[in-house]
Amino acid sequence: MSVSTSPAIGYEHWSDFLYQLGAVCGPAELQGALVGQLCGGQRLSPEQWQAFALAFMDLPSAELATEKLAAIAALYSLVLAALSDGEYRFQLLLPDDALPLLPRAEALSTWCQGFLHGLGLAGPEVLKGLTADSREALDDIAQIAELQLDESESEENEVYFAELVEYIRVATLAMFAELSPPSAAPLSVSDAVH
């Protein structure tokens, strides 16, 4: 299966793609780990990103076709561009709202776990650059990573979930702006693929 590098490709397509690859994580956790690294100021070469992603997914690179590696490489470029474009278009890669709340909440929790893992790779020194508000948001993300919901579907829970997603999205953008090195220019899709 070939996965387009378009930002319009959603969670379900990435989920199918990663399942076919045999990845041990889902798209939310993978994107969270990538965003955490980027927020921590890390800018990886395409080879470094592929190596990290394959290790994170517990996949041997020798078994993957070139177009599958290109799709993984393109994810890096797309996420970095969305974080740094100044238009606030970055979105968390989560299941569609048509699914029940419980799997969406579980995906949000794994996104946060991945984010904390990726940010942790930058080391404790990078966190000194965070404002008090961002440190509080980071604590909140750590709590959301442990989120446990009951299975009740209610309009109130839906509203609460949507607010959590937006909170994490805005907090992520703020941390990215605070911690990004000024010289870190986003890679283009073509840079990430070659």
CATH of domain 11-193: 1.20.120.740
HSE-CB for 74 with a 13 A CA cutoff:
16
Q: Looking at the predicted structure, is the pLDDT value of residue 16 above 60?
A: yes
With beta carbons less than 8 A apart as the criterion, state whether 105 and 161 touch: yes
Helices (H), the chain: 11-21, 27-39, 46-56, 66-84, 101-120, 132-145, 155-179, 189-193
Which range has the worst mean pLDDT, 81-85, 108-112, 121-125? 121-125
Count CB neighbours of 99 within 10 A. Answer: 13
Q: Give the mean model confidence (pLDDT) for residues 85-103.
A: 90
The first and second tokens of residue 189, run together, are 């899709």
Average pLDDT, the chain: 83
pTM: 0.85
- Between 48-62, 103-117, 142-156, the lowest mean confidence (pLDDT) is in 142-156
Write the pLDDT tens digit of every residue in 115-174.
Answer: 999 999 988 888 887 889 989 999 999 999 997 766 666 788 889 899 999 999 999 999
3-state secondary structure of 131: coil
pLDDT of residue 65: 73
